[in-house]
Structure 1
Amino acid sequence: MFVTVNGETRELPAGATIANVVASLGVSSLGGSPSEGPGGRGVAVALAGAVVPRSAWAGTQLCDGARVEVLAATQGG
């Protein structure tokens, strides 16, 4: 299936979840610990414009044509 992630079309296997997308992007956490896994603190995901709670990432399967935005907070001044 094909999914748009941050404006880029990607081919993913059927049954892929938001957690799979975050892991594949290698998004690092902001001040999180390695035990939090991919997409620790400071990472947000929207599916079709709606924010998906982190607790739902592993259970939210994507469908062909889905639009996903993955945002990571950065520190700076």
Structure 2
Amino acid sequence: MTITVAGEKKEYKDDLKLTELIEIEEVETPQYVTVSINDEFISFDDRETTVLKEGDSVEFLYFMGGGC
């Protein structure tokens, strides 16, 4: 199936779980990343049960603090 990850279309196996995608994409510090699928945020607790579908768009968002 084809899904878009961070703006890039890629091919993956059918019935891919979000946790598997996080491993495949080698996401740094997955415990601190926020994931959105089709512009909807996925709760940390739902990652194990979320199955990606053809045409989904996935973004990994990192929030950083900073400033003075």
TM range (shorter): 0.7 to 0.9
> In the TM superposition, what whole-angstrom CA distance separates every residue of 1:10-48 from its partner, at most 9, and x where no partner exists?
11101101111111121122xxxxxxxxx11x2000011
Out of 23, 48, 51, which is 1:58 matched to? Answer: 48
Gaps of 5+ in 1: 30-38
Gap change, CA 1:23 and 1:76, over 3 Å in 2: farther
Give unpaired runs (5+ residues) of structure 2. Answer: none
Q: Give the share of equivalent positions with the same residue, in percent.
A: 25
Deviation at 1:75, TM superposition (A): 6.1
Distance 1:26 1:74 in 2: 19
State the superposition RMSD in angstroms: 1.5
Answer whether contact 1:4 1:67 (CA < 8 A) is retained: yes
Specify the alignment match of 1:73 in structure 2.
63
**After TM superposition, where is structure 1 displaced by more than 3 Å over at least 4 residues in a row?**
73-77
The count of aligned residue pairs is: 67
User: 2 CA distance for matches of 1:4 and 1:20?
Assistant: 15
Provide the residue aligned with 1:13 in structure 2. 13
How far apart, CA to CA, are the structure 2 residues paired with 1:19 and 1:71?
15
* 1:47 is the counterpart of 2:55: no
